[in-house]
Structure 1
Amino acid sequence: MNLSEILTLSGLWRHTRDTIRAPQEAAQAVLALNLPRNVLWLGLALVITLSTLLASAVLLMVPMPEAGAGVPMPVVMGIVQAVFLVLVSLGIAVIGARFGGKGDFDGTLALMVWLQAVFLVVQAFQIAAIAIGLSVLADIVSLASIPLFFWLMAQFVTVLHGFSSVWKTFWAIIMFLIAFAFLLSLVVTSFGFVPMMP
């Protein structure tokens, strides 16, 4: 894997397919790139921007009920996604190191950016399915992408930190994300951002 290949559509598709087939080998290839942090931040901005654009395309094809004036929903989703990726990358690096892992923040961020790039292909597939009238297929892909996301993340983190068990890593990630979501909800509530009831 090299950066120039990833930036082409054919290369992105090929490496996405290879990542799903052999996630640990893909993780090793991403880490072997040893990308500098400024490139990682640019990569993060790129995948978030593309994800936001694809989400906007879905809203154009399948209009949602009006939510009133304010910041467009895809923009909000993009901001939340960016904050989520950075905080999760930091958490995986710090907590993994506490349990004897050898990974660092840069390696974690590289893998999370690549994970998002893989799911750009999934988003594009969903849009294509909706465009040709196969909304049911798009829904199936959407549901299947959830366990796939966590499974690929577990595989990536196992390689990153040199852990021995993918399943232990998988359940550790699930517990971490549950705790993270709980803490985040407490922070949001403490700032007064409580959902308004109808």
Structure 2
Amino acid sequence: MPPEPAPPGLLALLRESITTPQKLAARLMRWGLPLGTVVELVVLLCVLDALLVGMVGGGRFVLPVSEDEMLSLGPLAHAVLLFVSLTLSAGAIQVAGQMLGGRGRLTEALLLMGWLEVVGLAVQVVQALILLLLPPLAGLAALAGLGIMLWCLVHFVRELHGFHSYGRTIATLLLALVALAIGLTLLLGPFIAPLEAAHV
């Protein structure tokens, strides 16, 4: 019996995320990871992201909450907020897709949202290098990074719910965006209100 091929490395998975995102999403879901394992992986990812942001930002993460107000978060608060955001995103995409006839499950949705965050971190690293080496191209790199994230998200959601058209995929994302905006507003409300009161 021939030996089983070695699992692809991180760089190969990242490359596949961009070139064939729907195929990559199918590969990740075939792993069949239980919810507990996915949650642990997402928590680890959030902690690593918070440490990276903390090192780059001097230990603080700044979140814009209005045109002239910023909310400064420590690494722990950043990790918690990121975890909640990813969980809410996964739940919103799963529920919205099922409302439109999709088949996605929460475990798979959370796994794909976690991997999308990995792709986002890789994009940020590339953008930082371009900013250091080729500053005039920083704006173009930012637009390209946004395009890559949207490209991956659309195809991840399409594969998650088994949609054959982009119409229901886009509708799922719009419904999920509205639900996520409401959820984050309720979540950040207790922190934003004191800032607004102090500004008045």
TM-score class, shorter-chain normalisation, is 0.7 to 0.9
After TM superposition, the structure 1 stretch with the greater mean CA deviation from structure 2, 168-177 or 157-166, is 168-177
Supply the distance in 1 between the matched residues of 2:151 and 2:171 (Cα, whole angstroms): 10
**Where does the alignment leave 5 or more consecutive residues of structure 1 unmatched?**
none
Measured after TM superposition, the shift of residue 152 of structure 1 is 1.2
Supply the distance in 1 between the matched residues of 2:191 and 2:45 (Cα, whole angstroms): 30
**Residue pairs, 1:91-102, within 5 angstroms:** 91-102=92-103
CA displacement, residues 54-104 of structure 1 (integer Å, 9 cap, x when unaligned): 2223325xxx8xx9xx752x4433222110110111122222222221111
Q: Helix, strand or coil for the counterpart of 1:193?
A: helix
Measured after TM superposition, the shift of residue 135 of structure 1 is 4.2
Q: Helix, strand or coil for the counterpart of 2:57?
A: helix
**Where does the alignment leave 5 or more consecutive residues of structure 2 unmatched?**
1-5, 63-68
Partner AA of 1:125 in structure 2? V
After TM superposition, the structure 1 stretch with the greater mean CA deviation from structure 2, 15-24 or 176-185, is 176-185
Asked whether the 8 Å contact 2:92–2:179 carries over to 1, the reply is no
Supply the distance in 2 between the matched residues of 1:166 and 1:42 (Cα, whole angstroms): 31
After TM superposition, the structure 1 stretch with the greater mean CA deviation from structure 2, 46-55 or 153-162, is 46-55
Q: Helix, strand or coil for the counterpart of 2:163?
A: coil
Supply the distance in 2 between the matched residues of 1:178 and 1:140 (Cα, whole angstroms): 28
Question: Root-mean-square deviation (CA), in Å?
Answer: 3.1
**Residue pairs, 1:105-120, within 5 angstroms:** 105-120=106-121
Partner AA of 1:104 in structure 2? R
Do the aligned partners of residues 20 and 77 (structure 1) sit closer, same or farther apart at CA in structure 2, a change above 3 Å counting?
Answer: same
Do the aligned partners of residues 53 and 135 (structure 1) sit closer, same or farther apart at CA in structure 2, a change above 3 Å counting?
Answer: farther
TM-score, normalised to structure 2's length?
0.76
Measured after TM superposition, the shift of residue 147 of structure 1 is 3.4
Do the aligned partners of residues 173 and 47 (structure 1) sit closer, same or farther apart at CA in structure 2, a change above 3 Å counting?
Answer: same
Do the aligned partners of residues 71 and 118 (structure 1) sit closer, same or farther apart at CA in structure 2, a change above 3 Å counting?
Answer: closer
Match of 1:24 in 2: 22
**Residue pairs, 1:82-161, within 5 angstroms:** 82-130=83-131, 132-161=132-161
Supply the distance in 2 between the matched residues of 1:176 and 1:154 (Cα, whole angstroms): 12
Supply the distance in 2 between the matched residues of 1:59 and 1:126 (Cα, whole angstroms): 16
Measured after TM superposition, the shift of residue 37 of structure 1 is 1.8
Supply the distance in 1 between the matched residues of 2:57 and 2:134 (Cα, whole angstroms): 16
Measured after TM superposition, the shift of residue 187 of structure 1 is 5.5
Match of 1:77 in 2: 78
Match of 2:46 in 1: 48
Partner AA of 1:79 in structure 2? V
Asked whether the 8 Å contact 2:35–2:107 carries over to 1, the reply is yes
Supply the distance in 1 between the matched residues of 2:183 and 2:45 (Cα, whole angstroms): 26
Supply the distance in 2 between the matched residues of 1:56 and 1:177 (Cα, whole angstroms): 27
TM-score, normalised to structure 1's length?
0.77
Asked whether the 8 Å contact 1:24–1:155 carries over to 2, the reply is yes
Q: Helix, strand or coil for the counterpart of 1:123?
A: helix
Measured after TM superposition, the shift of residue 108 of structure 1 is 0.8
Asked whether the 8 Å contact 1:54–1:123 carries over to 2, the reply is no
Work out the number of aligned pairs and report it: 184
Match of 2:65 in 1: none
